[in-house]
Amino acid sequence: MIDGPALVTLIAGPTAGGKSALALRLARETGGEIVNADSMQIYADLRVLTARPNTEDEAAAPHHLFGVADAGEAWSVGRWLEAATATLATIAARGRPALVVGGTGLYFRALTVGLADIPAVSAAIRREVQALFDLLGETAFRVRLAEIDAPSARRIATADRQRLTRAYEVWAASGRSLGEWQSRTLPTLFPGTWRGLIVEPDRQTLYDRCDARLAAMLDAGALEEVARLAARGLSPTPPAMKALGVAPLAAHLRGEISLDEALAQARQDTRRYAKRQLTWFRNQTPDWPRVGNADAAISDRTP
């Protein structure tokens, strides 16, 4: 099911879907190099809890952008795109295929559609816009936004304060709507230089795999990993602190809930996240081929 020449293969899908195993097998077959496109696997502190490739997998094929950031850092989509672009250029210079694998949809969108070079918004403007939202309330604020950026006012979902105020801030800082900036983007990967694939097991199989993987993570030292992270005393704002499983396991370590309760909450959070990923990829990549069984996709592959 995976055929045809391509320099870059994008393998996306929900957590626990089998993406990493497929990427590793293809890297072995083709001599390719694997590039991380998972926003949590960037962080060095959470190898177990984010299901990063283990040392054996990393020895089997070159891996890039895994565990390259400290948990106290906050990598944006733009920072990842800059690092991924440089990495892909280096791989291409070696004449080797690249396999970009992960579940962070915005990373794949940045590669294939582009990332708007939106000017920075000052703290003063952010404060003014937040104050305006508080003064007007969402309904009146949306009406005000529609006067300057009607597409954003229509598109942004109810109760999504962050995106509503972001759209207004961009206009206030630049005099252009968010849509205008986004329309000026260019992709890093141009058509014909890449192919995309979504690994999408059926819903129950995916949920069962999520549950089984969490149990395996505990056996592999996830609780100890969270204990080491908690001991650093980081604020709750860095992205790594919001990784699946961190909050409930940390609550257990503080004596607030039992381990069974922590595991149940982590399972529920993981299933919900997987569902959101499935929805995002179905909406944003409807024309990418789907495979429900990664192992079958490998075995059916034509040279």
Tell me the pLDDT band of 303, cut-offs 50, 70 and 90: very low
pLDDT single digits (tens) 194-228 = 999 999 999 999 999 999 999 999 999 999 999 99
Strand ranges inside 178-301, DSSP E: 194-199, 290-291
Is residue 186 classed exposed, middle or buried when 0-12, 13-18 and 19+ CB atoms within 10 A define those classes?
exposed
Q: Quick one: average pLDDT of 35-64?
A: 97
Question: Mean pLDDT in the chain?
Answer: 91
pLDDT band with cut points at 50, 70 and 90 for residue 299: very low
DSSP state of 43: B
pTM: 0.79
Arithmetic mean of pLDDT, 93-100: 95
- pLDDT at 294 (0 to 100): 57
92-106, 129-143, 184-198, range with the lowest pLDDT: 184-198
Burial of residue 131, with CB atoms counted within 10 A of its CB: 0-12 exposed, 13-18 middle, 19 or more buried: exposed
Instruction: Decide if pLDDT at 296 tops 90.
Output: no
pLDDT computed for residue 248 by the predictor: 98
pLDDT at 16: 94
Has residue 301 got a pLDDT over 70? no
- For residue 224, the surrounding DSSP H or E stretch is helix 222-231
Confidence at residue 210, expressed as pLDDT on a 0 to 100 scale: 95
Q: What angle is formed at CA 53 by the lines to CA 279 and CA 101, rounded to 5 degrees? A: 40
Tokens of 125: 């403007």
Residue with the larger pLDDT of the pair 1 and 48 = 48
pLDDT at 241 over 60: yes
pLDDT score of 4 more than 70? no
The residue extents of the domains of the chain are 8-114+187-299, 123-183
How is domain 123-183 classified at the CATH fold level? Histone, subunit A (1.10.20)
Q: Are 211 and 301 in contact (CB under 8 A)?
A: no
For residue 194, the model assigns a pLDDT of 95
Q: Please tell me the predicted confidence (pLDDT) of residue 117.
A: 74
- The topology (CATH level 3) of 8-114+187-299 is Rossmann fold (3.40.50)
Average pLDDT over residues 261-279: 96
What is the average pLDDT across 272-297? 86
Report the range of poorest mean pLDDT among 14-18, 117-121, 257-261, 279-283: 117-121
Say which DSSP state 12 is in: E
pLDDT at 186: 81
